[in-house]
Amino acid sequence: MTLAFELDALRALADPGATFSDARQWTKYVGVVSDQPTYVVTNYTRKHRVRQDFFSGPRGVVESLENVKRQFDTDRHVLVGTTEEDRAAAEETGWEYLPVERAAEAAGWALGDDEPDEDPFEDDGRDDWP
């Protein structure tokens, strides 16, 4: 199986690094896809010690799922996500979709406190730059 987490689904988990380690026991490939800029995904995965086999890079979710499916020939391709857009991307690309809550329940992963990590470079609308 190839397992992809949309970044927000990964953020919803209490311990993303442990989740990836656990998933490696029963998947062949595991990675992250996102519409966010590459540095956002890279910073998050480094901070949480997530070693991924693939990530979306500068591509969006749909293009990433298509590329991963071509590169990683496994019997199943599953996207863990949080939104209807994630479900639509999975359906469009021939992936199975699994909401993060169901994935966490089935695998025994703890969900987090829903507090997103702050992006220090995110524009907060203030004009306080010198």
Q: Which domains does the chain have, with CATH numbers?
A: 2-107 (3.40.50.1000)
Chain centroid to CA 56 = 9
How confident is the model over 82-99, as pLDDT tens digits?
999 999 999 999 999 999
The DSSP bridge partners found for residue 80 are 5, 98
How do the residues of the chain divide into helix, strand and coil, expressed in percent and rounded to 5? Answer: 40, 20, 40
Q: Of residues 124 and 78, which shows the higher confidence score? A: 78
The H or E element spanning position 105 is helix 100-107
Rg (alpha carbons) of the chain, rounded to whole number:
15
- How far is residue 84's CA from residue 8's CA, in Å, rounded to a whole number? 13
pLDDT in tens, 103-128: 999 999 999 975 555 555 555 455 55
* This prediction's pTM: 0.85
Instruction: Return all residues near 123 (Cβ < 8 A) that are at least 6 apart.
Output: none
